[in-house]
A and B are shown apart, each in its own frame.
Chain A
Amino acid sequence: MVSATPHTASAIKTSAGKSRGVKSPGEEAIKNKGWLRANKWLLLRRLSQLGILSLFLAGPLFSVWIIKGNMSSSLLLDVLPLSDPFVLLQTLLAGHVAEASAISGALLVAAFYFLVGGRVYCSWVCPINIVTDIADWMRRKLNIKSSLSFSRMGRYGLLLAIFIIAAVTGTLAWELINPVTMIQRELVYGMGFSWLLVLAIFVLDAFVSRRAWCGHLCPMGAFYSLIGRQSLIKINAVDRKNCDDCMDCFAICPEPQVIKPALKGNEEISPVIISGNCTNCGRCIDVCAKDVFKTSHRFIK
């Protein structure tokens, strides 16, 4: 497993007069590009995440029914069904063949993420991402270095286990404890104790292990990473020759292992970040003072 955390990359020279960018990555970018441009993608993502959540909340709160249901399955403008392929696949494995409405909704959603990148769900839609981003921000601000480390592959094991359990028990067992769908549901339909689970994720990410939930454990993210492996939209380290090894992108990236091949690879390796685990969050574009990264598509050499 390639790991390129700032700690292991000490051999790489640091830009002059700058602390290694671990504590506040993006400082130089703000100086060079201005605050707004250095936070452009972050702001757009928050806008998207909160916007989607508000659309779901507009119905129950203000009787504006643009979208009905929750992110597991919904009805857009009373005509277009949308379903979460991850949840629907669990019902299939549990032995239920869904009606056409849910299946077409799930195919639609899967096709969308197939195009834009599976884990765009994580960074542009999922509200848990806001929590884990804040946890990571807190880690940096409080300078919490210690981090329990475990494999990022664990989530795929978890995903497999979840599918097996669904098939064996004939129930959507994971949906009994899935914090992602749970918080979305309880935000829209009334809060139970799911906030406790979200708090637990925050504590885990902030104090126990860096990016533990979204980057190591969440099987939903793992599922979407598989959908988006061949996605059209990818981040491209197009001007990688300008990289001054400030490490800001590695420090800010929720999946830093995906950057290294594209940024540090030789001529033969494409500068496109090809991994399905890149969430297309665009934070590397934001924090890079040298404008190395751009959004592009996968076919650029």
Chain B
Amino acid sequence: MSNQSNKALQSRRRFLDNISRAAGGAVLFSVGLGLYSQQTKSLPADAVRPPGVANESDFLSACVRCGLCVRDCPYDTLKLAKLGEPIALGTPYFDARDIPCEMCEDIPCVKACPTGALDPELTNIDDARMGLAVLVDQETCIAFHGLRCEVCFNVCPVQNKAISLNRSHNVRTGKHALIIPVVHSSDCTGCGKCEHACILEEAAIKVMPIKLAKGESGKHYRLGWEEKQKAGKSLVTPDLEHKYNLPEGASYDYEGEGLIRSDDSQKENSTPFNKSAIDRLNEGVR
């Protein structure tokens, strides 16, 4: 009898031993894997997700890593992260410098996704926000040297909207223009064609995760001129028209090429030579 209860005690002890050992192991495993999973939550800046990924952490909760998007990509743009690559294992991404997204109108990769990790609500590829192109290096971009390039502008599928060319003065020569590509986040899909096409050894324009590429102004921040246009009038002190100290009958407008004389004064001065040289000299002063 006592032998039996002893046996029961022993087996209970062994059971508790096993349970506590398993629990210890499970806790160790959970902490390790949990922390590791947090580490892989950040996408490296040079990897671009396929269209339909709104944010990385939602994507990582939804993607089953089946690669059906990869299979239906007609341009072999997408690939799955392999073990050893610094991207969440098995998830689809592309390297824009290597093969950019061609922005298929029917978006086959999104259609192929069985789980909705690539958002099926994305039906217009122009609405995709895979990332944001950034002209990261003004030192090597030859447009900043005053040379004509505009390759990124020309390959951009959302042409003249996602990248526009802005003119500015070439201070170095003093007489030429710089024609600078400027990316607009309102239209850039992050397809990476600009990065792919950049003529430099290392692209000066690169697609980056939007979070990395874009600033955000304070929620309270307003641009006065836009508010004014919306309201139709100045919202602070009323606008005063600037008064120039001008000859009688003349007005000044910059875009209208400077000094404008009224019809009367033009009639008055219809001949280049005035009655007297003194009057002529005084004309601009009066």
Contact (A153, B22) CB under 8 Å given A173-B34, A173-B37, A176-B40: yes
Task: Specify which chain A residues have a CB less than 8 angstroms from the CB of B40 in the assembled complex.
Answer: 171, 176
Q: Is the CB of A164 within 8 A of B117?
A: no
Contact A172 B84 (CB under 8 A): no
Q: Closest B-chain residue to A74, C-beta based?
A: B66
Chain B residues with CB under 8 A of A168: 34
Contact B26–A161 (Cβ < 8 Å): yes
Closest to B30 in A: A161
A94 contacts partner chain B, Cβ-Cβ < 8 Å: yes
Chain B minimum-CB-distance residue to A153 = B22
Q: Judge whether B116 and A99 touch: CB under 8 Å.
A: yes
| Chain B residues within 8 Å of A94, by CB | 60-62
CB neighbours of A153 from chain B (8 A)? 18, 22
Q: Is the CB of A192 within 8 A of B62?
A: no
Give the CA-CA distance A189 to B62 in the complex, in Å: 20
Q: Shortest beta-carbon distance, B50 to chain A, in Å?
A: 15
Judging by beta carbons under 8 Å apart, are B67 and A59 in contact?
A: no
- The answer to whether B114 and A175 have CB atoms under 8 Å apart is no
Q: A84-B64, A169-B34 are in contact. Are A98 and B114 (CB under 8 A)?
A: yes
In angstroms, Cα B244 to Cα A56, docked, is 80
Closest to A189 in B: B80
Query: Quick one: given A165-B37, A189-B79, are A91 and B61 in contact (CB under 8 Å)?
Result: yes
Do A189 and B61 touch across chains, with their CB atoms under 8 A apart?
Answer: no
A73 touches B22 (CB 8 A): no
Question: Do residues B68 and A170 form an inter-chain contact, with CB atoms below 8 A?
Answer: no
A-chain residues with CB within 8 Å of residue B60 when the two chains form the complex: 94, 170-172
Contacts of A154 in B (CB 8 A): 22, 25
Q: Report whether B114 and A102 are in contact in the complex, using a CB–CB cutoff of 8 Å.
A: yes
Chain B, 1-41, CB within 8 A of any chain A CB: 18, 22-23, 25-26, 29-30, 33-34, 36-38, 40-41
Contact B67 A99 (CB under 8 A): no
- Quick one: closest A residue to B60, CB to CB? A171
**Residues in chain A near residue B41, CB distance under 8 A:** 171
On whether the beta carbons of B33 and A157 are closer than 8 Å, the reply is no
Cβ distance B29 to chain A, nearest Cβ, rounded Å? 6
Residues of A within 8 A of B90 (CB): 72, 175, 181-182, 185
Contact B116 A189 (CB under 8 A): no
> Pick the contact of B89 from A96, A98, A176 — CB < 8 Å?
A176
B83 within 8 A of A: yes
A83-B114, A88-B115, A185-B80 as given contacts; A169 in contact with B65, CB under 8 Å: no
Alpha-carbon distance between A74 and B41 when the two chains are bound, in angstroms: 25
Any A CB within 8 A of the CB of B264? no
From B22, B26, B79, B84, contact of A193 by CB (8 A): B84
How far apart are A151's CB and chain B's nearest CB, in angstroms? 5
Cα–Cα, bound, A259→B68 (Å):
40
- Of chain A, the residue at the smallest CB distance from B28 is A161
Determine if B37 and A169 form an interchain contact, defined as CB atoms under 8 angstroms apart.
Answer: yes
Other-chain residue from A72, A98, A105, A173 in contact with B62 (beta carbon distance below 8 A): A98
| Complex-state Cα separation, A199 to B42, whole angstroms | 29
The reply to whether the CB of A210 lies closer than 8 angstroms to some CB of chain B is no
Give the docked Cα–Cα distance between A269 and B30 (Å): 39
Residue A239 lies at the interface, judged by CB distance under 8 Å to chain B:
no
Q: How far is the CB of A201 from chain B (nearest CB, A)?
A: 14
* A182 close to B89 (CB less than 8 A): yes
CA distance A105 to B38 in the complex (A): 29
Do A87 and B64 have beta carbons less than 8 Å apart? yes
**Residues in A whose Cβ lies below 8 Å from that of B29:** 158, 161
Residues of chain B with a CB closer than 8 A to A175's CB: 64-65, 89-90
User: CB-CB < 8 A to B146: which residues of A?
Assistant: none
* Chain A residue, CB-CB nearest to B72: A68
* In-complex Cβ contact of B115 among A91, A157, A174 (8 A): A91
Q: Do A68 and B68 touch across chains, with their CB atoms under 8 A apart?
A: yes
Q: A281 at the A/B interface (Cβ < 8 Å)? A: no
**Interface hits, B32-88 → A, CB 8 Å:** 33-34, 36-38, 40-41, 57-58, 60-68, 70-71, 79-80, 82-85, 88
Q: Would you call A73 and B26 a contact (CB within 8 A)? A: no
Q: Which of B23, B68, B83 contacts A186 (CB 8 A)?
A: B83
Q: Does A44 contact B (CB under 8 A)?
A: no
Q: Which residues of A contact B66 (CB under 8 A)?
A: 69-70, 72-74, 83
Which residues 96-141 in A have Cβ within 8 Å of B in the complex? 96-99, 101-102, 105
- Most chain B beta-carbon contacts within 10 A, residue among A73, A94, A190, A191: A73
For residue A81, which residues in chain B have a CB less than 8 angstroms away from its CB? 114
Measured CA separation A164–B40 after assembly (Å): 18
Q: Among residues 77 to 123 in chain B, which have CB atoms less than 8 Å away from a CB atom of chain A?
A: 79-80, 82-85, 88-90, 112-117, 120
- Using A96-B58, A173-B34, A194-B83 as known contacts, list a sample of 16 further A-B pairs with CB atoms less than 8 Å apart, ordered by residue number in A: A69-B68, A72-B90, A83-B114, A88-B115, A91-B61, A98-B115, A99-B116, A154-B22, A157-B25, A169-B34, A170-B61, A172-B61, A173-B37, A193-B82, A193-B83, A194-B82
Ordered by A's residue number, 11 sampled pairs between the chains whose C-beta atoms are within 8 Å are A72-B66, A73-B68, A91-B64, A95-B61, A101-B115, A157-B22, A158-B29, A173-B36, A176-B37, A182-B83, A189-B70
Chain B contact residues, CB within 8 Å of chain A: 18, 22-23, 25-26, 29-30, 33-34, 36-38, 40-41, 57-58, 60-68, 70-71, 79-80, 82-85, 88-90, 112-117, 120
The 6 nearest A-B residue pairs measured at CB: A192-B82, A73-B66, A173-B37, A94-B61, A96-B62, A102-B114
